[in-house]
Amino acid sequence: MEEKKAAWKELPEGDVLEGGSSLKFKTGNWRTDRPVHIPEKCIHCFICWIACPDGAVKVNAETGKFEEFNYDYCKGCGICAHECPKDAIKMVNEQEVDKK
């Protein structure tokens, strides 16, 4: 469905946006490769969580465990996979994912 865009009279004056507007902008569809987590190899060091430029790695502070990738915002840059010291993240082409 096409996004309904505001007409000039409806917009707040002077290029003003409410904070947190990036939440509404799901950048996950920019992705060509997606990170896939390999639980057997993961040591829950959280380096992926630190390195992710989009905050798209979800970890659980209580359990101290990796939880999941947020594919709504993950752009597939691969930094997490590159930084992972245990090769516990592999990048898989989206077309491969679609096939499954």
Partner 1 sequence: MKAAKTGNEAFAEAMRQINPDVVAAYPITPATEVVQIFSQFVADGLVKTEFVAVESEHSAMSACIGASAAGARAMTGTSSQGLALMWEMLYIAGGLRLPIVMAVVNRALSSPINIHCDHSDSIGARDSGWIQLFSENVQEAYDNIIQAVRIAEHPDVNLPIMATTDGFILSHCLETLDMLSDEDVRSFVGDIPERSTLVKSLREGKPITLGALDLQDYYFEHKRQSAEGMFNAMKVIPEIGKEFAKTFGREYGFFEAYKLADADAAILVMGSTSGTAKDVVDTMRAEGKKVGLVKLRVYRPFPAQMLAQALSGIKALGIMDRAEGMSAVSGPVYPEICAALYDLPGKKPVVQDYIYGLGGRDVSLNDIRYIFDEVLKSAQTGKKAYTLKYVGVRE
Stretch of 3-11, 50-58, 62-70, 76-84 lying at the interface with partner 1 (CB under 8 A): 3-11
- Smallest gap from Cβ 3 to partner 1, in A, equals 9
- Residue 18 or 62 with smaller CB distance to partner 1: 18
| Cα–Cα nearest to 66, from 82, 83, 99, 88 | 88
Specify the DSSP class assigned to residue 46. -
What is the number of other CB atoms lying within 10 angstroms of the CB of residue 19? Answer: 6
Q: How far is the CB of 12 from partner 1 (least distance, A)?
A: 6
Angle at 60 between CA 57 and CA 61, to 5 degrees: 115
Q: Given its phi and psi angles, is residue 52 left (phi above 0), alpha (psi -120 to 50 degrees) or beta?
A: beta
- The residue written with tokens 């999941």 in the block is 68
- From residue 12 to residue 41, what is the string marking binding to partner 1 with x (rule CB under 8 A)? xxxxxxxxxx--------------------
Which position among 1, 2, 4, 7 is part of the footprint of partner 1 (CB under 8 A)? Answer: 7
Q: Which is nearer to partner 1, 21 or 95 (CB)?
A: 21
Binding site residues, partner 1, CB under 8 A = 5-8, 11-21
